[in-house]
Amino acid sequence: MKRTVKTISFILLILSLGLVLSACGNNNGETIHESSQQKDSLSAEAEMIQEEEIIEAEMIQESSQQELSAAKWREYENEYFNIRFKYHQSWYFQRDKINEGDYIAVYGFAPNAEELNDKDYAIQLFILNSADSFNEDFSYSQEKEHENKKYILVSSKKEYQEILNLMFENLEFIN
């Protein structure tokens, strides 16, 4: 009988060890499975980030194409100066001076508020009397005359030369 008890105890010991080991084996399997899921999740996140970067790059490219198309630009009209012009839809605009010194008017255009507030405009439009001289030096400028007034668009920044040219093309005189 002692032998039977010992045999049963031995069998129960082996069965319990088997259960413990099989439970550990399942946990390792689950850990491996979870690790695999985490890797899949991380690669999915990386793909999403990559897709977002591609979309952002496409939006920047589209934005720069729209930037060089005056079709969606804002329009400003001034009956006193008999002018109408378009400026970039996302740029800031400000009439800075009127009847001050040699200038009849100065308009400023900038891609951000800080640049406009610092008076470091990306593009400026000066309106002068035809007899007045323009003493300031800018890298890029375009000039038109109409009814004894000079309309001069200027910029010192190369990156805005194409926008300046488009603004100049869209500068109209109204009656």
Token pair of 23 as six digits: 């439970």
Sequence letter at residue 126: F
Q: What are phi and psi of 84, to 5 degrees?
A: -140, 135
User: Running along the chain, 175 residues long, what does each successive block of 10 average in pLDDT?
Assistant: 66 67 55 60 74 64 60 89 89 83 85 85 89 81 90 90 91 90
Sequence letter at residue 7: T
The C-alpha angle with vertex 142 and arms to 110 and 163, in degrees rounded to 5, equals 40
Task: Report the predicted TM-score, pTM, of the whole model to 2 decimal places.
Answer: 0.60
Domain boundaries, the chain: 1-67, 74-173
Q: Is 70 in contact with 85 (CB distance < 8 Å)?
A: no
Mark out the alpha helices in the chain (DSSP H runs): 2-67, 113-117, 161-169
